[in-house]
Amino acid sequence: MKIAVVILNWNGKSLLETFLPSVVSHSPNATIYVADNASTDDSLRFIRDHFPSVKIIENKVNGGYAKGYNDALKFVDEPLLCLLNSDVEVTKNWLSPILETFEAEPETVIIQPKILDYNNKSHFEYAGAAGGFIDKYGYPYCRGRVFNSIEKDSNQYETSTSIFWASGACFFIRKNVFHSLNGFDESFFAHMEEIDLCWRAYNLNYQIKYVGESTVYHLGGATLNTQNPKKTYLNFRNSLFCITKNASGNLFSLIFTRLVLDGFAAIKFLIELKPKHILAILKAHFSFYSALNTLLKQRKHSKQRKNYYSHSSVVWLYYIQRKRLFKDF
């Protein structure tokens, strides 16, 4: 099966210098694209000079992760897509287990490999680890990472298994399914748009899998690190977007509980003397309220909504019961 590896880039020449060589070396049967989000640095010149086999797609604007991929993938013909962050190092034969799974399992439409930390390769990486899940209130967590507790890779997540969401750091999807779902929701801009896409796929009974035989190393935080208030804003806002669009059950009760929990998060930032993050949460909520009518219309069009969680509250399990490992959940 033909596969395209599509790397989204915005002023990331230094990242391309570090990480693109591994992608080119270890992806002999893939077509590699760099989708450029209107960069103003020398990224494109670097690619043309050093990696002439890499195809370039030039987006007219920087629409973030969501619009950037939506725009670029219109020009990709391969039936399988790998959406790969520009700060990911891949390994030898990383594509083989993925392709084998797609070929053997027609019902599987989205796949994530094992994602380890580029700077600490014995541990999982925050953005995806060994596959993602979500609790009743829309808080994401992973096998290998719950909030800020990150596990060491001791081969505990080697086998393939079904998951709820796959990380956008290294996100495999069948092209026809991506387009049938109308791609990423561009209102997200960045962060959690892959969870929204997976949730929409899940509600339509598509299968999403983690394939542990494939490994990549993710630097993480190359665009926005965890200390940036903009990341806090996007994560809190987009999480509310996700549950309003996709969650089953009593939406009013769910949103009310979530707003209370977000208030506790703001108190935590107050104790930690991080006022910019408190403002980011407030800004996220005001943005959510202004978008609520649109979100409710989107929810109305999505008539099929499945039960999506196995744990009511990972906040309770993590902060009150002090559980830190996925297996303890």
Model confidence band, residue 185 (pLDDT cutoffs 50, 70, 90): very high
pTM exceeds 0.85 for this model: yes
Rounded to whole angstroms, the Cα distance separating 116 from 124 reads 4
Model confidence band, residue 178 (pLDDT cutoffs 50, 70, 90): very high
Rounded to whole angstroms, the Cα distance separating 314 from 326 reads 10
Rounded to whole angstroms, the Cα distance separating 96 from 227 reads 36
Number of C-beta neighbours around residue 52 at 10 A: 8
SS3 273: coil
Share of the chain above pLDDT 90, in %: 95
* Closest by CA position to 287, among listed 250, 245, 251, 234: 234
The two beta strands, 55-59 and 145-146, are: unpaired
Q: Are 117 and 89 in contact (CB under 8 A)?
A: no
Rounded to whole angstroms, the Cα distance separating 284 from 292 reads 12
Please report the pLDDT score of residue 222 as a whole number. 65
Rounded to whole angstroms, the Cα distance separating 26 from 202 reads 31
Lowest mean pLDDT across 113-127, 219-233, 297-311: 219-233
Cβ neighbours for 287, distance < 8 A, ≥ 6 positions apart: 233, 237
| Mean pLDDT of all residues in 309-326 | 94
SS3 294: helix
Rounded to whole angstroms, the Cα distance separating 123 from 105 reads 29
Would you say how long the chain is, in residues? 329
| Mean pLDDT of all residues in 89-109 | 98
Number of C-beta neighbours around residue 316 at 10 A: 14
Rounded to whole angstroms, the Cα distance separating 44 from 9 reads 9
Question: What does the pLDDT look like over 136-153, one tens digit per residue?
Answer: 999 999 999 999 999 999
Rounded to whole angstroms, the Cα distance separating 38 from 157 reads 38
Average per-residue pLDDT for the chain: 96
Residue 225 confidence (pLDDT) above 70:
no
